[in-house]
Amino acid sequence: MNDVLSHVLDAHGGLERWSQIDRLQADVILRGPFWAVRGFSEKPSRERLTVETRREVIRLSPWKRPEHDILVRAEDDAVEVRVAADDTVLESRSGIRSTYAGYELNSPWESLQVGYFIG
């Protein structure tokens, strides 16, 4: 472990405490011209970002509709839109990284691509 990481962990209770945490949550606001170019609204979007600490899994909620969220499974290169109440999968795509091939700076993205990028 490097000195900076060791210092940060020690300042927040040490490695043992960090090992007890299984997820982190943050409320984020997504806004700016970057998102409009990608086909997402320029209107600020408020999302709750939940990150699992033991796997590469990120959930953003709500996603496009109040009752939906998006689950990014980076470890599987997959993304899913789900019903938040019961985790029913409404839309999914595996191999999501490959869908960016050939895109240029102003290429619009699909909703699943935007979710994956944020995750």
Q: Which two tokens stand for residue 96?
A: 């999501």
pLDDT of 83 above 80: yes
Q: How many residues does the chain have?
A: 119
| Span 26-76, pLDDT tens digits | 999 888 888 888 877 766 678 899 999 889 999 999 988 899 999 999 889
Q: Which two tokens stand for residue 101?
A: 């091939």
Q: How many Å apart are CA 71 and CA 62, to the nearest integer?
A: 11
CB 47 within 8 A of CB 55: no
- Pick the most confident of 4-13, 46-55, 101-110: 46-55
In one-letter notation, the amino acid at residue 67 is E
- pTM value? 0.79
Average pLDDT over residues 75-92: 94
